[in-house]
Structure 1
Amino acid sequence: MPRFSVIIPCFRVQGFLRECVDSVLEQSYRDIEVIAVDDCSPDGCGAILDEYGARDERVRVLHLTENVGLGRARNAGLPHATGDYVLFLDSDDTLTPGALRAMADRLDETGDPDVLVFDYARTYWWGGTRRNVLAHVLAEAGEGTFTAAERPEILDLLMVVWNKAYRRDFVEREGFAFPPGYYEDTPWTFPVLLSAGRIATLDRICLYYRQRRQGNILSTTSRKHFDIHAQYERVFAFVDSRPALAGWRPYLHAKMGEHCLDILAKPDRLPPSAKGEFFRRTAEMFRAYRPEGAEVPAELRVLEGAYAAYVVRRQAGRAARELGRRAQRARGAAVARAGRARSALTLCRPLDENLAVYSAFSHRGVLGDPAAIYHKARELAPHIRGVWVLADQEQAAGLPADVEHVILGSAAYRRVTERATFFVNNVNWPGTLVKRPGSVHVHTHQGTPLKYMGADLLDKPGARHGLDVPQMLRRADRWDYSLVANRYSELVWERAYPCHFSSLRTGSPRNDVLVDAAPGHGAAVRARLGIPGDHTVVLYAPTRRDHRRGGYVERIDLARFAADLGEGHTLVVRLHPSLATGPARGLGLSELHRRGVLVDATDEPHVEDVLLASDVLVTDYSALMFDYANLDRPIVVHADDWGAYAAARGAYFDVTAEPPGHVSRSYRELAWLFASGTWRDEEAARLRSAFRDRFCEFDDGRAAERVVRLLLLGERERVPLPAPRRSPAVRTRSEELIQR
């Protein structure tokens, strides 16, 4: 028998059906059967399903003679299921790549529980993707199995049937079935979870829940929403038939009230003439099923009164919210006026020549080039007070006590930014920050650029989506100095940001640690990440794709790559920072990290530590390759979509023609490079040497010292000149400044 039976009921979804079925049949895990139920669909669903049935023996098609609705169509498929586990997949949704393999591995790991609950992400018709906001419930459930009584928060998840895998003999033994009508998932999910002796979770996005432009059937205005009452009556009947579940009645009573009030509050669910009737029916049920002695939550006490009182309360709530918004706008205007007046007075006061303000990566912490300059300033110029700007208190939580900081937009932020002489950042400061005469703005950038930046994006409409390039350039007009690690970057930045700044050939301060790292630095990082000291560490660091909404494209099967690397290797993955909080990690990375298949280093605050801990870098087009070249360790460029990337984003040179190491254009080539040992051969060393000469030109370990001595201390005579790795070109303005 197969491991999984996937039941797909179909009705009027011909435009989405092939994508749904393909997402199942194209899974790498093949031990499955598909039971597709044509619910007497009037469109082409039946014919499409017959095509699949004719060419794939794993597909069985059932044609119902009349339309019975979603729940009973699922019931029709159940008797034909022979798999160990049953999944229900709605025919406009899709499984994510690798989902069934991840489920199978988790089921084996937990000893075949009754139910496996997995994660999902909503995909919107306009292209957006948003992960389930309660995903943390799955992550916090632990490694083993549990019951609903042990972890009742599992019942807070969306009350749907399709985010779970059910052990078939458990379903058959308990006699679970779907009732007719709307909200048919409710009297299935509650009984299943309350009855399960062993529940496991999988913290991985296994399903894309399609949000159609016209909404789903529950978004339509209809009296069928009254079905919710009958569905909860079925839930209470089930609990009444199981005396051991009696303790759940208070929870279910409150849940019913919340669910019904939520339906009533939606403007597009019930006909206006039916709302009073719906309220009264809900109130009757609420009274009838209230457990003796149970306290009614404050937000549900409205069900103990009349419908008119509910309407008055809703209207009062809306009025109060509107008054609150007006008051907030008035307060904001008053604060702005006061701020302008105070700023006008402050701007008359002299700058504090011993005050420097730092920020990095949109105020995310003490990181990158600004951090390297800050630490060197504390060493060489301790009289200069350094203050960090952070986005919120969460960013400040882990800072040492002696690191002074202010929160963006606060009064303290305004005080320091109005008086500071020095501003150091690797992104632009907010547009509201006024550059005062005499202040010095140092822009460090975020490494050497491969992809188009700044004004060059004007010819790339897809890449500049959401970016206001003219505004970006107006903010860049505040720069006094632009730091560069090589002459190539100097030319790029002066073209991409046509502003009045001076380029300084200092090198990248954040790379000082790569050049001067202590011998044991990498080993200490490995130990902290749990990597055996004798392993070869392969770092995979992909960049984002601007031509794909969300930015993430899974170019490599990470589990397969980790396995193909073999014994004695550890795969470390670090996603682009812009992908760290999106759904990308939920598509398998977090689960593979939990299982020890690889190490997810995306949250490591200092990327330099991750680079030092590795023996080889595999990347596509990430700027990390330029920093990594300082280590003189092998680099492999995986460029399977270089043409699409370069066309969409734009690139300053062809990295596949001038690479820092070997280039793979398919997974097969990538796997061969490592299996054969070619990744570290003489040709790889030759390519890396030429790349280092060009792009690590001024990185000699003293970049931060140059910045501090030249710009903060004005010690031009003590500034060490960078020693280019190749013959010098014409002297630039930055070298003239250093020598003056």
Structure 2
Amino acid sequence: MPRFSVIIPCFKVQGFLRECLDSVLEQSYRDIEVIAVDDRSPDGCGAILDEYAARDPRVTVLHLPENVGLGRARNAGMPHATGDFLFFLDSDDTLTPGALRAMADRLDETGDPDVLVFDYARTYWWGGTRRNALAHLLADMGEGTFTAAGRPEILDLLMVVWNKVYRREFVTENGFEFPPGYYEDTPWTFPVLLSAGRIATLDRICLNYRQRRQGNILSTTSRKHFDIHDQYERVFAFVGARPELAVWRPWLHRKMGEHCLDILAKPDRLPPADRAEFFRLTTRMFRRHRPEGTSVTGELRLLEGGYPAYLLKRGAGRAARELGRRALPVSRAAAGRLGQGWSALHARRPLDPHLVVYSAFSHQGVLGDPAAVYRKAREIAPHLRGVWVVAGEEEAADPALLPEGVEHVLLDSTRYREITARATYFVNNVNWPGTLVKRPGSVHIHTHQGTPLKYMGADLRDKPGARHGLDVPQMLRRADRWDHSLVANRHSELVWERAYPCHFASARTGSPRNDVLVGAGPAECAAARDRLGIPPGNTVVLYAPTRREYRRGGHVDRLDLARFAEDLGPGHTLVVRLHPSLATGPARGLGLADLHRRGVLRDATDEPHVETVLLASDVLVTDYSALMFDYACLDRPIVVHADDWAAYSASRGTYFDITAEPPGPVSRSYRELAGLLVSGGWRDAESARLRAAFRERFCTYDDGRAAERVVRTLLLGESMPSAAGRARVPGPAAGHDLLASS
């Protein structure tokens, strides 16, 4: 008896069918059977299915004598299923690698629940990918099982059949089946979830939900959308026949009204001549099933009047929105003029010589180099007033991003304009908004975000893929405001002056955020390990990949993380930190979050302070991430995994060949990488030699006093010994020039 019976109904999908079948049959988890149902498809689907069945005994093909529709095609496959769990997969969708293994493991963990709900991502015909916006609900449900009554928010997820697997005996005992019609998922998913005694969730993207440019039946203009009424009648009949489910009637009544209004609100769903009829049928059903004593609130009140009243109210809303759209440019212009006037008013006042404005990572909070400068200024120059700019209330409310007692202003607020109009010093690791006007006498200090390996700034002009969506001329106009560009090494100094052809002075200060790495002792490292939950005595392998410009969305799975963690063996902890630009995308849903939950590895992507992650590790495995330059300050082993170096360097552009001048061993395949880590080659004499040469080149000015050097020389105008034994670094009062200028 197989673990999964995958039922795949097929109709007019010959262009997508092979990809769908391959995604199932090539899974590493092979305890499955595939029941493919040819729903009398007029194209080549039947022949494709027969071809796969001939070469894979796990595939059974049913050729239906007539077209019966998606729901009844699924029903036709169910009597042939022998697996523990049923999985209904649409024939134009695909499974993600490792999906079935993750499902099987989760089912084992939770003791074979009635239903397992997993995550999905929408994949668009033009190449984009978007994760389910409510994915967080899957993680919020906890480790065990539950019922819909205990966790009703599970019903807020997209009510479709294909983001779940179902215990076959549970389905058989309850006699669940699909009705004919357009919205056949509705009378399946509601009864199944309301009846299930044990539901579990899997916070992992297991399915790619294809968003076809054409061909999605629910996006076509047709009277078939009237089917929604019959399907909800089936749901109400199911609940009405089971007194224990009566408590759900108010919820279903509201859901039905919202669903029908959603169809009616979409102009491309119903023919114009049929919209009034659809409204009348909806209101009739809404009144008929309204539970006694239930109040109608919000948009559902539209269903209490006639169709003319609906049009009037809906039309008034549309008119208001249209007026808002038309007025928006005027409003923005007026707001802009008001803001400029407010700034101009304060610009008449003298600059405050003690006011320093900070920002980091597009106003995310007290992070990175600016944070290190801020903390050092509070220590040695408490008379300087530091104010942070944050993007919004969410960032301001997070103590990890904005500690208690830190003065801050919200971006584009009146207070922001007042502060930025009068500040003398500005410290940032990205460019300030274009609306910020640099006053004469103000000093802009740009810290950057590390040592550059990949092309930046003006060098991206010849890399159209890498600069997609980036306005290089505008970026350079904003960089024209820089007075000082911090550098940690001579390489960075030369690159920044080439990549940003602007009038600034290169300040050979070192990277302030690396001070904590240079000066860290056993206590700091132990605290970092404790924060990440690292078992005492374990060797910590940090894997920190960067994004790829040759793939839309930036994420490419280079390693099987579960295999890597297993191959490292006992006594090792694998910590993974994705590039910040991938933190909120689908990358973490493709197994990383689930592996973290199961304790296979630690996902440190959300740790706001990267220094903590670096301090906790014993060895860094990266590809082309700038983190390697910071990590070198710790003088700990680094392994470069460069299996796609040719593609990466061609698409993004790099300033030197990291595989020819590496900070440690280089692997070009997983076999080589695993061999290095298992054999101990990552910390041999050759590794130490390469690291020493790399440190000499790229850690030149990182001596643990970078933040102090910035505060004393650039904010206070004092002099102090420069890094690497140079004579002195003059401050602004001594020429406004730190050893080199562009």
The equivalent of 1:469 in structure 2 is: 472
From 513, 517, 540, the counterpart of 1:514: 517
Compute the displacement of 1:296 (Å): 2.8
The equivalent of 1:499 in structure 2 is: 502
State how far apart, in whole Å, the 1-side matches of 2:311 and 2:456 are: 54
1:274 matches 2:277: no
The answer to whether the 8 A contact 1:502-1:733 is kept is no
Show the 5 A alignment for 1:153-552: 153-214=153-214, 216-326=216-326, 329-397=329-397, 398=399, 399-552=402-555
The equivalent of 1:78 in structure 2 is: 78
The equivalent of 1:578 in structure 2 is: 581
The answer to whether the 8 A contact 2:342-2:418 is kept is no
- Equivalent position amino acid for 1:308 in 2: P
The answer to whether the 8 A contact 2:717-2:731 is kept is no
The equivalent of 2:697 in structure 1 is: 694
Output the TM-score relative to the length of structure 1. Answer: 0.97
State how far apart, in whole Å, the 2-side matches of 1:613 and 1:53 are: 51
State how far apart, in whole Å, the 1-side matches of 2:307 and 2:507 are: 72
Compute the displacement of 1:272 (Å): 1.0
The answer to whether the 8 A contact 1:121-1:205 is kept is yes
Q: Cα 1:739–1:331, aligned 2, differ >3 Å: closer, same or farther?
A: closer
Compute the displacement of 1:298 (Å): 4.0
State how far apart, in whole Å, the 2-side matches of 1:505 and 1:261 are: 63
Give deviations 1:417-453, integer Å, cap 9, x for gaps: 1111111111111111111111111111100000000
Compute the displacement of 1:620 (Å): 0.6
- Equivalent position amino acid for 1:25 in 2: L
Show the 5 A alignment for 1:60-71: 60-71=60-71
Local SS of the residue matching 1:485: coil
The answer to whether the 8 A contact 1:503-1:733 is kept is no
The answer to whether the 8 A contact 2:426-2:444 is kept is yes
Output the TM-score relative to the length of structure 2. Answer: 0.96
From 643, 652, 657, the counterpart of 1:654: 657
State how far apart, in whole Å, the 1-side matches of 2:298 and 2:421 are: 48
Question: 391-400 vs 536-545, which deviates more?
Answer: 391-400
The answer to whether the 8 A contact 1:480-1:500 is kept is yes
State how far apart, in whole Å, the 2-side matches of 1:617 and 1:215 are: 47
Q: Cα 1:458–1:613, aligned 2, differ >3 Å: closer, same or farther?
A: same
Question: 372-381 vs 179-188, which deviates more?
Answer: 372-381
Give deviations 1:149-201, integer Å, cap 9, x for gaps: 11111111111000001011111111111111100000111111111111001
- Equivalent position amino acid for 1:44 in 2: G
1:606 matches 2:609: yes
Compute the displacement of 1:127 (Å): 1.6
Compute the displacement of 1:222 (Å): 0.9
Show the 5 A alignment for 1:582-661: 582-661=585-664
From 661, 677, 688, the counterpart of 1:685: 688
Q: Cα 1:68–1:138, aligned 2, differ >3 Å: closer, same or farther?
A: same
State how far apart, in whole Å, the 2-side matches of 1:723 and 1:378 are: 25
The equivalent of 1:58 in structure 2 is: 58
Compute the displacement of 1:614 (Å): 0.4
- Equivalent position amino acid for 1:334 in 2: A
Compute the displacement of 1:570 (Å): 0.6
Compute the displacement of 1:384 (Å): 1.3
The equivalent of 2:723 in structure 1 is: 722
Compute the displacement of 1:246 (Å): 1.7
The equivalent of 2:709 in structure 1 is: 706
State how far apart, in whole Å, the 2-side matches of 1:341 and 1:688 are: 55
State how far apart, in whole Å, the 1-side matches of 2:61 and 2:335 are: 66
Q: Cα 1:237–1:494, aligned 2, differ >3 Å: closer, same or farther?
A: same
Give deviations 1:466-486, integer Å, cap 9, x for gaps: 000111111111111111111
Compute the displacement of 1:328 (Å): 5.2
The answer to whether the 8 A contact 2:607-2:613 is kept is yes
Compute the displacement of 1:696 (Å): 0.7
State how far apart, in whole Å, the 1-side matches of 2:447 and 2:305 are: 63
Local SS of the residue matching 2:724: coil
Give deviations 1:552-573, integer Å, cap 9, x for gaps: 1111111111111111111111
Local SS of the residue matching 1:520: helix
State how far apart, in whole Å, the 2-side matches of 1:449 and 1:709 are: 26
Matched residues, number? 735
- Equivalent position amino acid for 1:81 in 2: A
State how far apart, in whole Å, the 1-side matches of 2:54 and 2:394 are: 56
State how far apart, in whole Å, the 1-side matches of 2:626 and 2:739 are: 31
Give 5+ residue unaligned stretches, structure 1.
Answer: none
Q: Cα 1:215–1:354, aligned 2, differ >3 Å: closer, same or farther?
A: farther
The answer to whether the 8 A contact 1:114-1:196 is kept is yes
The equivalent of 2:102 in structure 1 is: 102
Q: Cα 1:466–1:739, aligned 2, differ >3 Å: closer, same or farther?
A: closer
State how far apart, in whole Å, the 2-side matches of 1:176 and 1:696 are: 66
The equivalent of 1:149 in structure 2 is: 149
Question: 399-408 vs 541-550, which deviates more?
Answer: 399-408
State how far apart, in whole Å, the 2-side matches of 1:255 and 1:489 are: 58
Give deviations 1:449-471, integer Å, cap 9, x for gaps: 00000111001010000000111
Local SS of the residue matching 2:178: coil
Local SS of the residue matching 2:444: strand
Compute the displacement of 1:299 (Å): 2.5
Local SS of the residue matching 2:319: helix
Compute the displacement of 1:699 (Å): 0.7
- Equivalent position amino acid for 1:212 in 2: R
Kindly report the root-mean-square deviation, in angstroms, between the aligned alpha carbons of the 2 structures. 1.9
Local SS of the residue matching 1:723: helix
State how far apart, in whole Å, the 2-side matches of 1:249 and 1:29 are: 41
Give deviations 1:22-69, integer Å, cap 9, x for gaps: 111121211111111111111121222222112222222222221111
The answer to whether the 8 A contact 2:71-2:184 is kept is yes
Question: 38-47 vs 165-174, which deviates more?
Answer: 38-47
Give 5+ residue unaligned stretches, structure 2.
Answer: none
State how far apart, in whole Å, the 1-side matches of 2:393 and 2:285 are: 45
The answer to whether the 8 A contact 2:713-2:731 is kept is no
Q: Cα 1:685–1:332, aligned 2, differ >3 Å: closer, same or farther?
A: same
